Chain A
Amino acid sequence: MEFGPHLMLAALEGAVIASILVLTAMGLSIVFGVMRVVNVAHGEFFMLGAVLAWYVSTMLGGHPAVGFAAALVIAPLVVGLIAAVSDQLILKRINYDPDRTIVGTIGMLFIIQQTTLMTFGPEARPVEAPFNQRLALPWFEFGEGGLQMIWPWGLSITSYKLFVIFAALAVLVALWLFLTRTKIGLIMRATQQDSEMAKAFGVPVGTVYSCVFGLGAALAALGAVLVVPIQQAHYLMGADPLLMAFTVVIIGGLGSLPGTVIAAFLIGMSDGIISVFFSPTLAQIIATFLVAMILVFRPQGLMGKAET
């Protein structure tokens, strides 16, 4: 493949990866920002979203769009609810102690994963995309007759992948409006800044924590519902997004939402481009190396505030 079209294909692939990643990493980042909890089970909430999407779309049947639309609403809600309940049952009981929450969420990881294995089974199951047209993309080139439009071999995207990119953007804008323009958002930000003071002003911090934990999980689930028509629901699919999300929030700065968006874009695009031109393994090596460098030279992350 020629360099130009090749780069364009790589960038498009990168954009799809980045869109899913930004939703997953946002969830992780919000949870850490507000609750100071490192949620190791985050990838499993992602997986749960995909699995529930399969259940919902299979149960409804009919046109794939019906099942998918329903899954888009139901899966994040259910996953959010499960997360909120597990916050009440587990994290609250251990007083959000940083060390113990890590162990607690590792436990949740195994419980969710093994329960899915026992019920959903070990197979990968597909969810049909609501629409999926292949869109061949043109490329412009100076030929003998001046500027020419050509249709290179393999340069294409599907309508569904484009939809994923725009859907992720829409969710991101909605999330930003929610956090900055609503009262609940205000309460969350207040809790993030100083939970003791928020409590003193009558903010029900416990409830806020449950909501935030639910919101974080719901974002991961939403990302999974978007990705499941491209990939397939599988009980082990949570591991990759978890690692990628951790990479993103460490680079972006734990708890910093703008940092998370920037880092997700960076990592997603570089993963897309490097893996197309070189190899996916190299893309992961570079991302991991970046994490190490950030931890050494700028431990608070790109946009994080240094602890004083």
Chain B
Amino acid sequence: MRRKIALTTRGIKMTTKTTNNAVSRRKALLGLGAGAGALATTGLMPGAMGFAQAQSSAPIKIGFQKHATGIGAAYGRWYDATTTAAVQRINDGGGINGRPVEIVTEDDGTDPSRGAEALEKFEKLHGCDIAFGTLFSHVVIGSAPRAAELKLPYFVVSEGHHVASGMLNRYTLQPGITDVKSQVVSMAPFIADNLGKKVTMIFPDFAFGHDHRDFFTQAIEAQGGEVVAKIAIPPTETSFTRYFPSIPRETEVIYHVMVGPAVLTFVKEMGEFFGPSRPELFGFIDSLEAVGIDSPGLEFLEGSYFWEGMPRHVQDGQSAFEKTYRAAVGCDDRGASLDDPADVSTYAHMFGCWETLNVIKAGMEAADYQGPQDRTKLIEAVEAMSDMPESLDHPQGAKRFNGKTHQVFGQQFISKVTEGKLVVEHVATIEDGLYEDEVDYTTQSF
């Protein structure tokens, strides 16, 4: 699989090259055309006025970078469903600045180079106002530099620490979902106090997994614990039993976070490996997103713990906002599709799309956004945001946005599997997940 992917990537690179050539030729022609157009329209004020008028009622186009295919496809489908529901709500409420919102979707194939291509299409082919979407960190890292070159605001829903670390640029923002560092920092005290201090980590071998590895190791050491083994697994792996013997015998807690199409196999084989004598398990729900917790073979998860960005199963004391949101995105009480209970959503992550779109709306309204010329005003408006109270715009809970690091902070949930249901045991507050700024994007020029 890995080798095949390398082959495909090479193939894609080749296509990118040709597209680039084509684009640059087109760009040159466009430049000529624009020049000629400018000459021709000098003094033709009525024509220009007409265009401005049309623009004000034309839809605001948001390019949605979607994992429609590749290893992120399950997320892509549910990010799409949530985006559609959020846009529907925004349009029903009168759109943004009186203009309807239109989503333009491009498949990124869960692949960095195709991700960058998608941004290019949003800008040059579809004339989008901004770009939005996407979860997998390698796609975000691959796409963000292109966003800066195109001067296209790029709102990601990716969890990775790459935004707040200063690795990206002023055009990339993450206002709708917390990052791994914050999640991990707020989880470590619970793990050390309740589950154990000797931890073995199992994580996917790419940027997102490395964030987990680095920040959790620091965070658990701060709690007096230690990581006794770190097991990296390629995200395209399909068979896992062979990795488990490297788990040291002294392990008290297994910390697992896996992604990709084989997550069910991963969790099932972990259960088969340990049998009745398993250590404590603490997983990020990523290991089971889009997979039913009641799938055959997962009985051993009873009594184990999961981080959840947003509780998949309806909890006691559910807020009215959560209830309305759940109905709007078409999920039942167990976080599965209303049409098909076997079709489980990526509930712990997809709220990020809903909330990000609401932040975009608030930002565009604050900046009185009219068109691409106001893009920098939009970014400045979002940078100026801070506390966002829990509301239907933010059904996961209150948020605090840090304009300097372009990263939002929010509450985190730890759920315990109790009789086949994920029951929230602990809620980490916004303050639990705060850490020192590592960058100030506002000092960078546009």
Residue A138 at the B interface, CB < 8 A?
no
Contact flag A239-B249 (CB < 8 Å), given A13-B242, A156-B275, A232-B262:
no
Residue on B nearest A7 in the bound complex, by CB: B245
Instruction: Report B-chain residues with C-beta under 8 Å of the C-beta of A276.
Output: 242, 245
Of B51-59, B210-218, B233-241, B308-316, the one with at least 4 CB within 8 A of chain A = B233-241
- In this complex, the interface size class of chain B, counting residues with CB under 8 Å from chain A, is 35 or more
A240-B4 in contact (CB<8A): yes
Q: Are B73 and A156 in contact (CB under 8 A)?
A: no
Given the known inter-chain contacts A134-B272, A243-B4, please indicate yes or no for A231 contacting B69, CB distance below 8 A.
no
Asked whether A107 is an interface residue with its Cβ less than 8 Å from the other chain, the reply is no
A162 interface residue (CB < 8 Å to B): no
Known: A154-B274, A231-B262. A122 touches B69 (CB 8 A): yes
**Cα distance, A22 to B328, chains bound together (Å):** 50
Give Cα A234 to B1, complex, Å.
12
> How far does the alpha carbon of A280 sit from the alpha carbon of B246 in the complex, in Å?
13
Q: How many interface contacts (CB-CB < 8 Å) are there between A and B?
A: 90
Closest Cβ of chain B: how far from A93's Cβ, in Å? 26
* Chain A hits for B264, CB < 8 A: 124, 126, 232
Shortest CB–CB separation between residue A216 and chain B, in angstroms? 20
Is residue A132 within 8 Å, beta carbon to beta carbon, of the partner chain? yes
A295 within 8 A of B: no
B303 on interface, CB distance cutoff 8 Å: no
- Chain B residues positioned under 8 Å from A158 (CB to CB): 272
In the complex, chain A residues whose CB is within 8 Å of the CB of B290: 123
User: In the complex, are the beta carbons of B237 and A117 less than 8 A apart?
Assistant: no
By a CB distance below 8 angstroms, the chain A residues around B238 are 231, 237, 240
List B contacts of A126 (CB < 8 A): 264, 295
Asked if B277 is at the interface (CB within 8 A of a chain A CB), the reply is yes
Residues in A217-250 with C-beta less than 8 Å from chain B: 230-232, 234, 236-237, 239-240, 242-243
Interface flag for A10 (CB, 8 Å):
yes
In the assembled complex, A91 has its CB within 8 A of some CB on chain B: no
Q: Which residue of A lies closest to B291 (CB)?
A: A126
A123 touching B74, Cβ below 8 Å = yes
Contacts of B243 in A (CB 8 A): 280
Q: A234 touches which one: B234, B237, B261 (CB < 8 A)?
A: B261
Interface string of B237-271 (1 = CB under 8 A from A): 11101111101010000000000011011000000
Known contacts being A121-B73, A122-B68, A276-B242, is A232 close to B295, with CB within 8 Å? no
Chain A contact residues, CB within 8 Å of chain B: 1, 6, 9-10, 13, 17, 64, 117, 121-124, 126, 128, 132, 134, 136, 153-154, 156, 158, 230-232, 234, 236-237, 239-240, 242-243, 272, 275-276, 280-281, 284, 288
Chain B positions within 8 Å of A, measured between CB atoms, are: 1-5, 68-71, 73-74, 76-77, 234, 237-239, 241-245, 247, 249, 261-262, 264-265, 272-275, 277, 290, 295-297
Q: A123-B73, A239-B4, A280-B242 are in contact. List 13 more A-B contacts (CB 8 A).
A: A13-B239, A122-B73, A122-B74, A123-B74, A123-B77, A153-B274, A232-B261, A236-B261, A240-B1, A240-B4, A280-B237, A281-B234, A284-B2
